[in-house]
């Protein structure tokens, strides 16, 4: 007799939007997640993005911004406006193809 819980589900694909919230991810997952997100967003034609990393002690913010500095698709980035997270989020502009 087969039970629906015998086989674990495969990866869940989520739609790519212009916002990525890192609060539900472990710090070790963040670098690859951000790289994958930038690739997927760029491929989807999104050019204005926001990554929510939180305020905390600034570790996630530094990780995100180091990755952004190294990505040739990134034209600019900076703190989000106050109503969109302020220094707890980073707004990003990607270049065209």
Give residue 15's pLDDT: 84
Domain coverage including residue 79: 19-94
C-alpha 60/C-alpha 46 separation (Å) is 22
3-class state of residue 17 by DSSP: coil
**What mean pLDDT do residues 28-38 have?**
96
Is there a domain that residue 62 lies in?
yes
Is there a domain that residue 8 lies in?
no
Could you tell me the strand order of the sheet in which 74-79 lies?
Answer: 19-21, 48-52, 89-94, 74-79
Q: Has residue 28 got a pLDDT over 70?
A: yes
**Domain total for the chain?**
1
Is there a domain that residue 59 lies in?
yes
Is there a domain that residue 6 lies in?
no
Is there a domain that residue 51 lies in?
yes
Is there a domain that residue 39 lies in?
yes
pLDDT band at 13 (very low <50, low <70, confident <90, very high): confident
Q: Supply the CATH number for residue 84's domain.
A: 3.30.1370.110
pLDDT band at 96 (very low <50, low <70, confident <90, very high): confident
**Model pLDDT for residues 48-67, shown as the tens digit of each residue:** 999 999 999 999 999 999 99
């Amino acid at each position: 007799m087969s039970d629906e819980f015998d086989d674990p589900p495969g990866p869940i694909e989520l739609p790519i939007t212009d916002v990525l919230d890192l609060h539900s991810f472990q710090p070790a997952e963040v670098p690859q997640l951000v790289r994958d997100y930038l690739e997927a967003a760029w491929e989807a034609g999104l050019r204005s993005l926001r990554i929510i990393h939180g305020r905390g002690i600034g570790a996630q913010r530094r990780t995100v911004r180091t990755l952004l500095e190294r990505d040739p698709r990134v034209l600019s980035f900076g703190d989000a406006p106050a109503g969109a997270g302020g220094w707890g989020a980073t707004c990003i502009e990607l270049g065209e193809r």
